[in-house]
Amino acid sequence: MTGIKHLWELQTLEEEKLDLERKARTFPEVRELKMLKADIEENQAKIQVMKDELVQIKRNLKQEESGIMLLKEKMEKASTQLYSGEITNAKELETAEKNMEINKEKVEEAEDRALVLMEQAEKAEEQIKQLLKDLDTKKGQFRELNKSYTERKAGLARALEEHEARNKKLVEKIDPQLMQKFFKLCGRFDDKKGVALLENGVCSGCHMSVSFDLLKQSKNKPKELMCDNCGRLLLVE
């Protein structure tokens, strides 16, 4: 029965190995990491767009400000001229005053536009700050998750290596002829299991009661015993 016991262990080991491999394929972290990565990239793209917008706003603001400065200089000059008494002609005086008025309005309009731009810049800066904060949080989450994923992956690789070693040791102990028989049997069943347990007269492979004769034989602890329903090698404990 020792040979069959070893085969049983080998079969159990194989089952555990398949389970480990299945786990390796379905790490939940993989999906989460992918989602986080996509999130981070989206965030980075958004920040870039906002930064470009901010540059444009600041450029426009600068333009408005220099426009205001020019207009004010012009007005100052005109005002000096107007009140210096240089202009005596009534019509010229009227034109100059009108121009002053127009320029004043222009300055006010430009100042209004500049104010709006300043507010826009402030808002954009605030949004960028918030996005950068979110980005930092997400990057931190990614690092944490990646760390635990790497550790789990390494742990699984170690477990698989251990399995491989145990498997090798077991195979060395099993008679090659019995081994061949076992492999052939495994190929015959959907569950790929060539060894079954005989418990309370029932085969764990086909879940059927074995014959009375077989049960009787099993009491004598024979070297090999096969289920007379399914043909699996039976382990009697």
**Footprint of Zn ion (CB under 5 A):** 203, 205-206, 227, 229-230
Closest to Zn ion by CB, 50 vs 227, is: 227
Closest to Zn ion by CB, 124 vs 227, is: 227
Closest CB 142 distance from Zn ion, rounded Å: 51
SS3 68: helix
Bridge partners (DSSP) listed for residue 51 = none
Closest CB 216 distance from Zn ion, rounded Å: 17
Structure tokens at 234: 């039976």
CA angle 153, 155, 160 (to 5 degrees): 95
Structure tokens at 148: 């635990």
Closest CB 3 distance from Zn ion, rounded Å: 18
The C-alpha atoms of residue 148 and residue 137 are separated, in whole angstroms, by 17
Closest CB 197 distance from Zn ion, rounded Å: 10
Closest CB 159 distance from Zn ion, rounded Å: 31
Closest to Zn ion by CB, 47 vs 230, is: 230
Closest to Zn ion by CB, 63 vs 217, is: 217
Measured CA distances, 37 to 41, 79, 141, 212, 224 (Å): 6, 62, 10, 64, 57
Closest to Zn ion by CB, 3 vs 205, is: 205
The C-alpha atoms of residue 149 and residue 30 are separated, in whole angstroms, by 8
The C-alpha atoms of residue 114 and residue 24 are separated, in whole angstroms, by 59
